[in-house]
Structure 1
Amino acid sequence: MRKGKEMVRHARGAALFLLACFASAARAATAIPDGLLPNGNFEEAPARSQLDGTRVTGRYAIPRWEVSGFVEYIGSGQKQGDMLLPVPEGAYAVRLGNEASIRQQVTNLAPRARYSITFSAARTCAQAERLNVTVDPESDVLPVQTVYTSSGWDSYSWAFEARRSAVTLVVHNPGADDDAACGPLLDAFAIKTLQPPRRTKNNMLKNGDFEEGPYIFRNTPWGVLVPPMDEDDYSPLSPWMVLSSTKSVKYLDAAHYAVPRGARAVELVAGAEAALVQDVGTVPGRPYRLEFSAGDAGDGCAGSLGVQAYAARGSVKVPYESEGKGGFERGVLEFTAIANRTRVVLVSTAYTVKGDGTLCGPVVDDVSLVRTRAHAARRLLL
């Protein structure tokens, strides 16, 4: 009898295990894939009857999207006066005029998982353009007035935590320009599931190699900007934060840039106006060692590309003379913790401009923090 009960119990356990496996497989099969959102590059066009010139007249005219306000459907090579309006992905993009917005429902998300949105934006005729990006209840205003590429297009990233399996992504232009049609061009919306960063036995910092970050388009050789954010927001480079008022850092891939290690790195393109920071738990009075790589991205950014690092009361400057062809130096900062939390800060020491007039700066990568044994060695000597 006992043997029969044990067989039944094992059978039930096996059945529950199989059900769990099937449920997990079903979730994986329905999870949203990394890459373009449905019609994320706006190549599915509105019907001609839904357009008045370039202006979109129907609320649901652009397939997969809902629009409100003054929204234009722009073709590649179209002109506005003497200004040519390029399109980075395919043949079409949209432009948001004053108080205009586009929105799309994003489905097949895992509640409590974190995601990053990458999209391309270009200024047109307004001077201080901004974009309000929202997935309820989270919302941030991204400054787009600084242009970091010679083409005029930059890719931006933004992150959120899904509260439900279906959410609505809203991108709104809060501008109030004299010309209602003035506003940023938008194109190429993509999504990526962010994996929770973890510490390793050799590094107290999470994501110190920057391998986990926002989606980068294969055919856009200008990286992805990680804009400034409030400290309570979710970072596309989690748990790294960008502290600034209006400036960004640039997330790079090894396919288009010189990366010190691995497949990803960060370029500090805004001088001292944007700091890359991470908070980490420490023990007051204990010694630590911070190491990092500082160099150039091989993108023609030449000159003095120094990086300053701060932690507790310590700081170190790593000078680097760049020829714009790639390369790096290792920086080391040894310090003693003064609190239960220590903020690690990396910032460029100067503003640098490439020959085409665009901002650039030093590349940082392979950042590690370890506790050292200085105190123990001192006790042994005594």
Structure 2
Amino acid sequence: MAKKSELPFSSVFRLLQVLICLSILSTFVTAQDGVTAEDGLLVNGNFEKEGIENRTSRAGDIDSLPGWNIDGMVEYINEGQKQGSIYLVVPEGKHAVRLGNEAQISQQINIQKGSTYSLTFSAARTCAQLESLNVSVPPSTRNVDLQTLYSIYGWDTYAWAFQAQSENVEVIFQNPGMEEDPTCGPILDAIALKQISTPDKLRDNAVINGDFEEGPWMFANETLGVLLPTNLDVATSSLPGWIMESSKAVRYIDSNHYKVPEGKRAIELLSGKEGIISQMVETDPGNKYTMSFLLGQAGDGCQEPMAVMAFAGDQADSFHFNNPPANGIYEPNNVTFTAKAARTRIAFYSLYYNTRVRDRSSLCGPVIDLVKVVDLSKSGTVAGFSGFSVSLLLLVSVLTMAFTLGSL
């Protein structure tokens, strides 16, 4: 009788180890695909490469600002430079540029057509009068109001997203105003680009990017966070899945400079009802859901009390942050609702207009993180596994069955 073929257990174990390693490597490589060569500073995006000696350039003198084309009066600002008795703000490094009336700077960049990108840039106004900055990647354009100062430092960092209509686009920053005082005009510095990838929806969470880990470029020394101004188009959002539907910005923060409840990124709500963040999530009409989130404080000396208003469908509730919470960092909260349609709106805003204790001027507020919407009729142990975990379980089951059959 022919000897029955058997697969040694050690061989099966080694094969299982190899397959698991390949699965992990595949997951890692897939995650790295979202990082593009364009992520980071634009060419001379911090204006540290100087142009001509007199620091002032006019139309046609494109060599005056390396990496950039110039149209109109653009002034090269040095750290410590004064206008009268007032020091001009240089947000990052030792140099910045100031745009005169209707002046602009622009740069051609090569990117991936059809993809969404976010520009991060620092800007400041130089006079008390209303100033704004227009940022555009034609045909997309946006005016950023610089009148509201979110910090006492005289400048803030903003993010604005666009969808690439071609592989070669022009990034333009312009002073759209005609100021009575020609020495006024916005100061611009530290311009970076990041390709935005929308995270996949999880099996056990209807919220996209509920942990806020995917968002605009953040500089390593970005101590003020990044402001996300009003944006009603979720397709071109610097914060994938979310829109900012009110008149004021919310702040995107990182764990290097702030207290973040979970992971490396979170959202700090500012300006009360004027700073609303929301998302439309997929739901099954008639099913019961719970929306959960973590509520915390950024550790930036924000004046108490702090509270958030949370909306989920037709349900709304307010949640106050008790400092310090039981775990010292955050408090878990939830709102239960019954879906009335195939898409349900969830939203958050701060109940109060909070400022920092030390200056009574810098805007701050409660922090939200790890937002989840779970269908209670489907929730359970199996739903809690990620796709990767389920794949591994199936793989182990198949190999175990093969080993068993081979031993018979």
Structure 1 length normalisation: TM-score? 0.85
The equivalences for 1:56-67 within 5 A come to 56-57=57-58, 58-60=60-62, 61-67=64-70
- Once the two structures are superposed, the pairs formed by residues 12-23 of structure 1 within 5 Å of their partners are none
- 2:267 and 2:285 mapped to 1: Cα distance? 30
- The residue correspondences of 1:328-347 to structure 2 (distance < 5 A) are 328-347=330-349
Matched positions, count: 342
1:93 aligned onto 2:96: yes
1:137-163 per-residue CA deviation (whole Å, 9 max, x = no partner) reads 111111121111221121110111112
Deviation at 1:181, TM superposition (A): 2.7
Q: Which runs of 4+ in 1 moved over 6 A?
A: 323-326
Which of 137, 140, 146 matches 2:139? Answer: 137
Which of 362, 376, 379 in structure 1 is aligned with 2:366?
A: 362
How do 1:229-240 and structure 2 match up within 5 A? 229-231=231-233, 234-240=236-242
Stretches of structure 1 that go unaligned for 5 or more consecutive residues are 1-27, 376-382
Q: Cα–Cα, structure 1 residues 326 and 303, in superposed 2: closer, same or farther, change >3 Å? A: farther
Q: Residue 301 of structure 1 contacts residue 322 of structure 1 at CA under 8 Å; is this kept in 2?
A: no
Q: Is the 8 A contact 2:246 2:273 kept in 1?
A: no
Higher fraction of strand: 1
CA offset at residue 196 of structure 1?
Answer: 2.2
Distance 1:230 1:297 in 2: 26
Change (3 A) 1:31 1:367: closer
Deviation at 1:322, TM superposition (A): 4.1
Q: Offset of 1:124 from its aligned partner?
A: 0.8
Q: CA deviation at 1:373?
A: 2.1
Contact 2:135–2:143 (Cα < 8 Å) also in 1: yes
Q: Distance in 1 between matches of 2:323 and 2:91?
A: 29
Pair 323,79 (structure 1): closer, same or farther in 2 beyond 3 Å: farther
Q: Where does residue 37 of structure 2 map in the other structure?
A: 32
Shift of 1:244: 1.4
Question: Is residue 31–residue 110 contact of structure 1 (8 Å, CA) maintained in 2?
Answer: no
Tell me the equivalent position of 2:50: 45
1:45 and 1:215 map into 2 onto residues whose CA distance is 24
> Alpha-carbon deviation of 1:326?
6.8
Task: Report whether the alignment pairs 1:287 with 2:284.
Answer: no
Which residue, 216, 224, 227 being the options, matches 2:226? 224
Amino acid across the alignment from 2:271: A
Question: Is the CA contact (8 Å cut-off) linking 1:37 and 1:190 kept in structure 2?
Answer: yes
Distance 2:347 2:36 in 1: 35
| Contact residue 88 and residue 220 of structure 1 kept, 8 A | no
Distance 1:190 1:200, change over 3 A: same
Question: Within 5 A, what are the aligned runs for 1:51-130?
Answer: 51=54, 54-57=55-58, 58-60=60-62, 61-107=64-110, 109-130=111-132
Paired residues of 1:118 and 1:216 also in contact (CA < 8 A): yes
Cα distance, 1:305 vs. partner? Answer: 1.0
Inter-partner Cα distance in structure 1 for 2:235 and 2:188: 23
Amino acid at match of 2:277: L
* Identical residues among aligned pairs (%): 45
1:202: Cα distance to partner?
Answer: 1.9
Deviations 1:247-277 (A, max 9, x none): 1000000000000000000101221101000
Gap change, CA 1:113 and 1:304, over 3 Å in 2: same
User: Partner of 1:265 in structure 2?
Assistant: 266
Give, in angstroms, the shift of residue 128 of structure 1.
1.9
Residues in 1 aligned to 2:141 and 2:155: alpha-carbon distance in whole angstroms: 23
Give the TM-score of the pair, scaled to structure 2: 0.80
How far has the Cα of 1:233 moved from its partner?
A: 5.6
Is the 1:116–1:193 Cα contact (8 Å) retained in structure 2?
Answer: yes
* Inter-partner Cα distance in structure 1 for 2:269 and 2:125: 22
**What is the CA–CA distance in structure 1 between the aligned matches of 2:44 and 2:79, rounded to whole Å?**
16
Secondary structure at 2:304 match in 1: strand
SS at match of 1:277: strand
Q: Which has the larger radius of gyration?
A: 2
**Structure 1 residue aligned with 2:317:** 316
1:159 aligns with 2:164: no
For residue 190 of structure 2, what is the aligned residue in structure 1?
Answer: 188
Q: Which residue of 1 aligns with 2:257?
A: 256
For 1:39, what is the secondary structure of its paired residue? coil
Does residue 276 in structure 1 map to residue 280 in structure 2? no
CA contact (8 A) 1:78 1:84 kept: yes
What SS is found at the alignment partner of 2:102? coil
Q: Pick from 202, 205, 208: which aligns with 2:204?
A: 202
CA distance in structure 2 between the aligned counterparts of 1:374 and 1:315, rounded to whole angstroms = 23
Whether the aligned pair in 2 keeps the contact of 1:70 and 1:181 (CA below 8 Å) is no
Alpha-carbon distance in structure 2 between the residues aligned to 1:251 and 1:307: 16
What do residues 173-202 of structure 1 show as CA deviations (whole Å, max 9, x unaligned)?
112220123111100001111112211112
Match in the other structure for 1:378: none
Please, what is the CA RMSD of the aligned residues? Answer: 2.2
Instruction: Find 2:351's aligned residue among 343, 349, 352.
Output: 349
* 1:94-124 C-alpha deviation (Å, 9 max, x unpaired): 01122111111112x1111111110111111
Maintained 8 Å contact 1:302/1:322: no
Question: 1:235: Cα distance to partner?
Answer: 0.7
The amino acid across from 2:209 in the alignment is: N
- Aligned runs of 1:162-181 on 2, under 5 Å? 162-181=164-183
